[in-house]
Chain A
Amino acid sequence: MAEQQQQLTSEDIIQEENLVFDRTQLLTDNVFHYCPGCGHGVAHRLIMEVVEELEVQDKAIGIAPVGCSVLAYNYMDIDMQEAAHGRAPALATGIKRTMPDKYVFTYQGDGDLAAIGTAETIHACNRGENVAIFFINNGIYGMTGGQMAPTTLEKMKSSTTPYGRNIKQMGNPLKITELVAELPGTYYVTRQAVHKPGAVRKAKKAIKKAFEYQKLEKGLSFVEIVINCNSGWKMEPVDANKWMDENFLPYYPLGDIKVPEKK
């Protein structure tokens, strides 16, 4: 019974045929400029993994936003286009209408999609353009120094709300994902996160669904991905993920918000 378990050496295990996880080829070799621990990197990687799995590298066109992820085109090795601040859904509309066989997606933060670009977002969703929108929500303007965003939580401190967001004075946090789910043009609306291994697996499935629905010409897929912003929240990366779990996710619950009706 007391059989000695064979203990393999590192040389035995680290062989080409045993490789089970590697950085996807569709991410360039550039080092992400994001802060250590930022969820943008995971979101980039998941989208590129899905593009690689569906083998649509030559057909995928991404729209980069303005915000921390403004340089997304440096990391995603596919065709990319930079949009004016908040105007990515309008640009995606144009690209998809002129090239309907391409897979078009936008990658936008909360300052881009939910603040300056609210009109474009809502109208693109309402028209039901056949594109995918990936909305990266961290509840703060990370790039410009942690100012209050529309999605900032009540009593959450930011550099423009040093005493916490006051609802009476500054209004309520905007749940734009629930808002667009009400519109008839959206086909698939979901909220995911990337702070834990299980959440990452679910987020990848959601991103894959968004691309598959686009292939089937079902209409607009809207995938919100909640990430941390440890610099903006002034926390260590691991603490930021924990804080997100305890404070952010109760207000922005994860899961599908609008799923296609089964026939």
Chain B
Amino acid sequence: MAKLQGRIVVDTEKCKGCGVCIPACPFDVIALADNVNSKGFHYAYMKNPEACTGCVNCALVCPDAVIQVYRKKATA
């Protein structure tokens, strides 16, 4: 069985920590970091990367277009 696995890369310096991507994720992958970027925003990060399927929902709703999505098929 092939399963899609994904990863997101957040441009942490441009992320404003609005958190709109968090409810958009169907697998509860994203959370806001405890750390802040140079502007003082708690940027988004993958708290649960194994669950990501690369569905791009987070990137679609991201108002600052800071999320890159990668997806690869894993063969069992």
Contact = CB atoms under 8 A, between A and B. Distances in A.
Most chain B beta carbons < 10 A, residue from A15, A27, A37, A201: A37
A14 B20 contact: no
A230 B20 CA distance: 12
A12 interface: yes
Interface in B1-31: 1, 3, 5-7, 9, 14, 16-20, 22-24
Contacts of A41: 62-65
A197 B24 contact: yes
Interface residues of B, number: 38
B47 interface: no
Interface string A226-253: 0000100000111001000000000000
Given A36-B41, A41-B64, A10 B7 contact: yes
A37 B56 contact: no
A21 B47 CA distance: 20
Interface in A188-218: 194-197, 200-201
Contacts of A200: 60-61
B76 A32 contact: no
B75 A20 contact: no
Interface stretch (A1-9, A76-84, A107-115, A117-125): A1-9
A51 to B, nearest CB: 14
Given A14-B7, A31-B14, A238-B19, A40 B63 contact: yes
A36 B18 contact: yes
A13 B72 contact: yes
Given A10-B49, A20-B56, A45 B76 contact: no
A14 B68 CA distance: 10
Nearest to B7: A13
- Say what secondary structure dominates the interface of chain B: mixed
B36 interface: no
Contacts of A12: 72
Most chain A beta carbons < 10 A, residue from B7, B20, B50, B67: B20
- Say what secondary structure dominates the interface of chain A: loop
B65 A27 contact: yes
A24 interface: yes
A79 B16 CA distance: 28
A62 to B, nearest CB: 17
Nearest to B11: A23
B66 interface: yes
Contacts of A201: 60
Nearest to B57: A197
A130 to B, nearest CB: 29
Contacts of A40: 63
A21 B55 CA distance: 10
A13 B60 contact: no
Contact of B18 (A13, A15, A27, A37): A37
B68 A42 contact: no
A248 B42 CA distance: 29
17 contacts: A5-B3, A6-B74, A8-B74, A10-B49, A13-B72, A14-B7, A14-B9, A18-B71, A19-B68, A20-B6, A20-B71, A21-B59, A34-B63, A42-B60, A42-B61, A45-B65, A200-B61
